[in-house]
Structure 1
Amino acid sequence: MSTVTTPDGTDIFYVDWGPRDAQPLVFHHGWPLSHEDWDNQLLYFLSKGYRVIAHDRRGHGRSSQPSSGHDMDTFAADVAALTDALGLQGAVHIGHSTGGGEVIRYVAQAKPGRVAKAVIVSAVPPVMIKKDSNPEGSPIEVFDGLRDALAANRAQFYIDVPSGPFYGYNRPGAEPSQGLIDRWWWQGMRGAANAHYECIKAFSETDFTEDLKKIDVPVLVMHGTDDQVVPYPDSAPKSAELLKNSTLKTYEGYPHGMLSVHPDVLNPEILSFIEE
């Protein structure tokens, strides 16, 4: 089992497949999932000749379950520890949802030469929560509700989310995949309840505005208009506007988990952006 140990003693699990001399693609999963959420993309880009790397965030998947460090600064520092240990140069960092926030925080402060491009999909930046500087955001009560549901019955909550809003299976005419629902539950329940609880604050309240402004490398911003988890109007267009070199791709009617529902559309577009 491959792990990197961070300065505070947390073991970060990761997979690293493909030629060591190929361009590395680093995948950052969403909440409360793990690197397995990238199965489709890992296999797709591996078949295209890339080196593919995906880790489990602390408190998620097979990584350690510490009592602290469940905040975006520490998540980004953990990624830095991983990229340093692997000596990655010219990598493309690809993040979904909370992982998109992790990508933005990491890339904004990455060492020179480490990052060539970035891709954020259904991502939480610039900031989700409603406040004076973000009046269009979601009220704190929304995130308090997530915390309450997790604390009351995490197992049932982790069935309800993928069965409904995450993949858009609560929409008329949707055809749910029981496999995707079960995989979501399985990934979530392997992680630590404390990490998942505290991560709700990290993904909802972290403001990435200044991080976005600092980034110079090209960034592909992908988002569906029917995202019920990270609403489109308050996320992707604003992030694209703040970035110096962005490409915004909007997908009409696509849900939050569109990477799993529509990989046949999104994977080739990510590949095209990488190869530009």
Structure 2
Amino acid sequence: MSILRTDDGTDIFYKDWGTGQPIVFSHGWPLSSDDWDNQMLFFLGQGYRVIAHDRRGHGRSTQTPGGHDVDHYADDLAALVEHLDLHEAIHVGHSTGGGEVVRFLARHGESRAAKAAIISAVPPLMVQTEANPEGLPKSVFDDLQAQLAANRSEFYRALPSGPFYNYDKPGVEPSEAVIANWWRQGMMGDAFSHYDGIVAFSQTDFTEDLKKITVPTLVMHSRGDQIVPYAAAGPKSAALLQNGTLISYEDFPHGMPTTHADVINADLLAFLRS
């Protein structure tokens, strides 16, 4: 396995396939780099070098009791970029991974980056505040933590069976394989990392980070997203970016890179080639 050891002793597992311009994929909570299998194989076939890592406490990376905040996530990504000596990299993040990408570019600069894309991503801010009335009440995230603490296995079965992929919507046919793969990825990580990760993805304000980013950035979000509300996320992020482009979808779920990979891959490829 390919492993990077960070300055604080955390081992970060990563995949690195192919040659060409690098695309670095950052996954969502509480999953792993495996969630990008479709995209990695697709873009590998398009002549790109594809790279994805397991966030600390997720997948095959160290189950560490510390560093479950967006700054550490961004620093781990920066360490990977430096370790692989990447240049002109394209950074793609889904959900929490979108926040990781945004914080990485704002915190570590864009000297090694060419473009970025954030998909169903948590920025600018998920939690509801006086300044962010479109967000979700903090009680929603408190409940997620309570369900995780009560029975993580059942919780990680229920979430993909319902709102993550819109399998609870009329006319949407659930895929047992997709649900099982989500559960498998989630259970590879540790409960404590994921518990703290809920605070990281829900309460981090990325507003100032977004304003700092100058590389062309594609924002992809669906109005049908039941996890990260469209009105609080996609359009706001695109407006805050200096060079942002928004693609909106109607009925796609939060996990649209899996359920609608053909559309997401095609739109992302068109952006990369533009």
TM > 0.5 fold call: yes
| Matching residue of 1:99 | 97
For the residue of structure 2 that corresponds to 1:101, the secondary structure is helix
1:61-210 equivalences under 5 Å are 61-210=59-208
Under a length normalisation based on structure 1, what TM-score does the superposition of the two structures give?
0.98
Q: Deviations over 1:93-121 (max 9, x none)?
A: 00000000000000112344211000000
Structure 2: runs of 5 or more not aligned: none
| Matching residue of 1:230 | 228
| Distance in 1 (alpha carbons) for counterparts of 2:5 and 2:178 | 31
1:135 CA drift (Å): 2.0
| Distance in 1 (alpha carbons) for counterparts of 2:108 and 2:43 | 23
| Distance in 2 (alpha carbons) for counterparts of 1:112 and 1:204 | 25
| Distance in 2 (alpha carbons) for counterparts of 1:111 and 1:210 | 14
Under a length normalisation based on structure 2, what TM-score does the superposition of the two structures give?
0.99
For the residue of structure 2 that corresponds to 1:26, the secondary structure is strand
Amino acid at match of 1:227: D
Share of identical aligned residues, percent?
61
Mean Cα displacement is larger for which, 101-110 or 65-74? 101-110
Amino acid at match of 2:15: V
For the residue of structure 2 that corresponds to 1:109, the secondary structure is helix
Amino acid at match of 1:199: G
Q: Deviations over 1:218-266 (max 9, x none)?
A: 0000011110000101100000000000110000111100110001111
1:132 CA drift (Å): 2.1
1:267 to 265, 268, 272: 265
Structure 1: runs of 5 or more not aligned: none
Q: Deviations over 1:23-80 (max 9, x none)?
A: 0000000000000000000000000110000000000000001110000000000001
1:144 CA drift (Å): 0.3
| Distance in 2 (alpha carbons) for counterparts of 1:122 and 1:168 | 13
| Distance in 1 (alpha carbons) for counterparts of 2:155 and 2:89 | 35
| Distance in 1 (alpha carbons) for counterparts of 2:124 and 2:25 | 19
| Distance in 1 (alpha carbons) for counterparts of 2:205 and 2:107 | 15
Moved over 6 A (4+): none
